[in-house]
């Protein structure tokens, strides 16, 4: 399977974009935590700050995995054929 450079770069951009989205979700969870600690009511039960912290940590970890694992995800999604690796010297 031959992969065009544009397909590869678009896939990388999508993975990075999902990582940015996860960071935005993390910041949103932390913002809700700050607002709830300031005693503003958002319609949720008071005293469940751990919920926002847990989701913020989860979103942050997913963002880190996506940012630092982008090349790995690209290699999984677009594997190089064995003949191409043999011709390039295994690099």
How confident is the model over 46-65, as pLDDT tens digits? Answer: 556 778 888 889 999 999 99
pTM of the model as a whole: 0.69
Which pLDDT band holds residue 32 (cuts at 50, 70, 90)?
A: confident
Q: How far is CA 8 from CA 3, 62, 65, in A?
A: 7, 21, 19
CA 33 centroid distance within chain: 21
Q: Are 66 and 22 in contact (CB under 8 A)?
A: yes
């Amino acid at each position: 399977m031959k992969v065009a450079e544009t397909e590869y770069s678009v896939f990388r951009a999508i993975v990075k974009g999902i990582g940015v989205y996860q960071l935005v979700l993390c910041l949103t969870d932390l913002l809700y935590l700050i607002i709830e600690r300031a005693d503003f009511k958002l319609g949720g039960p008071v005293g469940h700050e751990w919920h926002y912290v847990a989701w913020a940590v989860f979103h942050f970890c997913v963002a880190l995995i996506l940012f630092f694992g982008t090349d790995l995800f690209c290699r999984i999604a677009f594997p190089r054929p064995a003949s191409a690796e043999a011709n390039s010297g295994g690099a």
